[in-house]
């Protein structure tokens, strides 16, 4: 993990907080004190520590459930469960699903939620915690995956920490998926089984983070100033003909280092609508 990655993760955490709670005020506009308080609690050192802890499990490949003690995906899962459980006000669950590559034992997402005033109205923020080598089915070799997926796991956990203790209209759900590297199995399962935990759930937004910050060797400086936004759009935009609202990729978002912000891989369509943000 290098400093650029961690700082970028911090920036993404700030962006996600602002998106979940409300839009950040620009210069000269009165600052919302609650948003400011939440933002000031985002801790880059905690993000770094969590990402490093995740890579210290050596591998988090989704079938690595019988490695050395303290290693593998099961140890990582238990760590995440304990971390979410230590945050006051969160409901925390291990969410089992059958992974086609390791069908003899269930694989688990770790999910937590902050109940809202409208309990079944959900805003989901997630990222996978499993890792892989170049061979996705290798469950024994080292796959530390600090940037993918230690970083996004750390960002989602930090969001849970800073948002806990506040009251929101929607229930905010934090999801750490497994089974993603072999085919997005964990997120597909929870998308189909939300009613296990919520009565008549209505998902109004899903923010998925993957490789927040990326790295500054595989990406150019310009890449580090971009993120991608996928959204089905609001009805007015879907009906409209303005080309700015359709089929745009790699939108420039100055001052934001978040590289990939895939909104709704499994829960929404991949159509895009955001205009260029000057
Ligand atoms: Zn990933």
CA of 33 to the centre of ligand 1 (A): 34
276 part of a folded domain? no
Structural domain includes residue 273: no
Yes or no: say if 96 and 177 are a contact pair by the CB < 8 Å rule: no
pLDDT of residue 21: 60
Q: What is the pTM of this model?
A: 0.77
pLDDT at 215 over 80: no
For residues 204-224, give the mean pLDDT: 81
CATH number, residue 41: 3.40.630.10
Instruction: Collect all residues with Cβ–Cβ distance below 8 Å to 33 and sequence separation of at least 6.
Output: none
In the reported structure, the alpha carbon of residue 179 is separated from the centroid of ligand 1 by a whole-number distance in angstroms of 11
Q: Is residue 206 part of a domain?
A: yes
Measured at the CA of 9, the angle between CA 8 and CA 11, to 5 degrees, comes to 65
Q: Evaluate whether residue 272 is within a structural domain.
A: no
Instruction: State in Å: Cα 155 to ligand 1 middle.
Output: 13
Min mean pLDDT across 51-65, 229-243, 262-276 is at: 262-276
pLDDT of 277 reads 27
Whether 14 is covered by a domain: the verdict is: yes
> For 49-74, what is each residue's pLDDT tens digit?
999 999 999 999 999 987 788 999 99
Write out the H or E segment, with its range, that includes residue 245: none
Angstrom distance (rounded) from CA 25 to CA 91: 31
- Ligand 1 center from residue 29 Cα (angstroms): 37
Query: Ligand 1 centre and the CA of 128: distance in Å?
Result: 6
Q: Is the pLDDT of residue 99 over 60?
A: yes
Alpha carbon of 38 to ligand 1 centroid (Å): 26
The alpha carbon of 26 and the centre of ligand 1 are apart by a number of angstroms equal to 32
Beta strands in the chain (DSSP E): 91-97, 107-114, 118-128, 170-177, 202-209, 228-229, 260-262
Q: What's 28's DSSP letter?
A: T
- Predicted pLDDT of residue 26: 55
Q: Average pLDDT for residues 33-46, to the nearest whole number?
A: 93
Structure tokens at 38: 């939440």
Residue 274 in any domain: the answer is no
**With 90 as the cut, is the pLDDT of residue 131 above it?**
yes
Q: Measure the CA–CA gap between 29 and 223, rounded to whole angstroms.
A: 30
Strand order, beta sheet including 260-262: 91-97, 107-114, 170-177, 118-128, 202-209, 260-262, 228-229
Please tell me the distance between residue 199's alpha carbon and the centre of ligand 1 in angstroms.
Answer: 30
Give 102-116 pLDDT, tens digit per residue: 888 899 999 999 999
Ligand 1 center–CA 181 separation, angstroms: 7
**How far does the centroid of ligand 1 lie from the alpha carbon of residue 167, in Å?**
30
Does the structure show a pLDDT above 60 at 273?
no
Mean of per-residue pLDDT scores for the chain: 79
CB–CB of 114/163 below 8 Å?
Answer: yes
Residue 243 pLDDT exceeds 60: no
Helices (H), 135-255: 151-163, 185-192, 235-239
Indicate the number of domains in the chain.
Answer: 1
The answer to whether residue 109 is domain-embedded is yes
Structure tokens at 37: 């308080």
CA distance 71 to 272: 39
Strand-pairing partners, residue 207, are 125
The pLDDT > 90 percentage for the chain reads 57
**Best mean pLDDT range from 16-30, 165-179, 237-251:** 165-179
Domain range for 10 is 3-262
More confident site: 220 or 16: 220
Count CB-CB contacts under 10 A for residue 239. Answer: 9
* Residue 277 domain flag: no
172 CA distance to ligand 1 middle (Å): 22
Q: Is the pLDDT of residue 242 over 90?
A: no
């Amino acid at each position: 993990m290098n400093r650029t990655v961690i700082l970028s993760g911090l920036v993404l955490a700030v962006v996600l907080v602002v998106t979940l709670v409300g839009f950040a005020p620009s210069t000269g506009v009165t600052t919302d004190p609650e948003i400011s308080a939440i933002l000031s609690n985002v801790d880059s050192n905690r993000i770094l520590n969590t990402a490093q802890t995740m890579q210290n499990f050596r591998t988090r490949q989704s079938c690595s459930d019988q490695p050395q003690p303290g290693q593998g995906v099961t140890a990582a899962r238990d760590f995440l469960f304990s971390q979410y459980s230590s945050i006051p006000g969160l409901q925390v669950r291990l969410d089992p699903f059958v992974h086609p590559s390791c069908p003899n034992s269930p694989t688990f997402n770790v999910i937590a939620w902050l109940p809202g005033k409208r309990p079944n109205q959900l805003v989901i923020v997630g990222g996978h915690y499993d890792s892989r080598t170049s061979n996705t089915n290798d469950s024994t070799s080292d796959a530390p995956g600090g940037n993918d997926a230690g970083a996004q796991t750390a960002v989602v956990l930090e969001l849970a920490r800073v948002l806990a203790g506040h009251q929101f209209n929607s229930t905010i759900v934090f999801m750490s998926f497994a089974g993603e590297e072999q085919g997005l199995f964990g997120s597909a399962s929870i998308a189909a089984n939300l009613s296990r935990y919520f009565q008549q759930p209505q998902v109004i937004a899903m923010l998925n983070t993957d490789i927040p910050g990326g790295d500054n060797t595989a990406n150019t400086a310009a890449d580090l100033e971009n993120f991608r936004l996928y959204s089905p759009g609001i009805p007015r935009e879907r009906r409209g003909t303005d080309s700015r609202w359709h089929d745009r990729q790699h939108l420039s978002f100055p001052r934001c280092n978040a590289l990939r912000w895939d909104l709704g891989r499994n829960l929404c369509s991949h159509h895009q609508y955001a205009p260029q943000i000057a």
